[in-house]
Amino acid sequence: MPTKKITYLVDGFNLYHSVRKAGKQLKASTKWLDLKSLCISMIHNFKPKADKLELENIYYFSAYAYHLNDPDMVQRHKSLVACLEDTGVKVEINRFKYKAIDCPFCNKTIPKYEEKETDVSIALKLQEIFIKDECDVAILVSGDTDLAPAVRLAIKLFPAKHTFFAFPAFRKNNELAKLCSGSITIKPKQYSKHQLPNPYILQNSSKIFKPASW
């Protein structure tokens, strides 16, 4: 049985909003997510034919919300990222972009911050991992339709590769589901099942404690 390599591309904010909603629904802790454990648990869902799958990489794309002027929020996020990196997840931190919006009703300029670089980063990484032959199967953990053009291009340029979606809970998108080799939707209970230990002990023996509000 041939072994196929699998790589996950994770839309951090799309996943976060799903995890947050799941926590409220379950009335359980879900934000201290062990992303690697979650991804490994889903591998069996993406087997092309009778091939054996082996995890190659997990890429996590996100950004720190400095514009909210909440240092504790940013630190909580950084604590989680440090744990994810320690488990072997490859993290790419992008940024929020300022955008001025002119209100037609009050004639005032309203400041708005949008996290837009993640979509582009995921789209480019999808092409990169196929070009470099890093993996045979790519799993996009997102329900963002902005990724549709990237998926179409990957399917066109790399017909021998497989692209799947693992939609975060409550974020399934039928348009994206029709584009790819297949899709699943993560169940809310999977988040509470795959949580990091508290405290998380890094490989250098230092400890990171789960934020009290999580």
2 or 126, greater pLDDT = 126
pTM of the predicted model, to two decimals? Answer: 0.90
Provide the 10 A C-beta neighbour count for residue 194.
20
DSSP secondary structure of 1-61 = --EEEEEEEEEHHHHHHHHHHHHHHHTS--SSB-HHHHHHHHGGGG--TT-EEEEEEEEEE
- Assigned architecture for domain 3-208: 3-Layer(aba) Sandwich (3.40)
Q: Which two tokens stand for residue 153?
A: 């291009």
pLDDT tens readout for residues 137-194: 999 999 999 999 999 999 999 999 999 999 999 999 999 999 998 999 999 999 999 9
pLDDT of residue 108: 63
- Whether the per-residue pLDDT at 68 is higher than 90: the answer is no
Average pLDDT over residues 12-38: 96
pLDDT of the residue at 101: 59
Strand 207-208 vs strand 200-201: parallel, antiparallel, or unpaired? antiparallel
SS3 70: coil
Residue tagged 């309203």 (tokens): 110
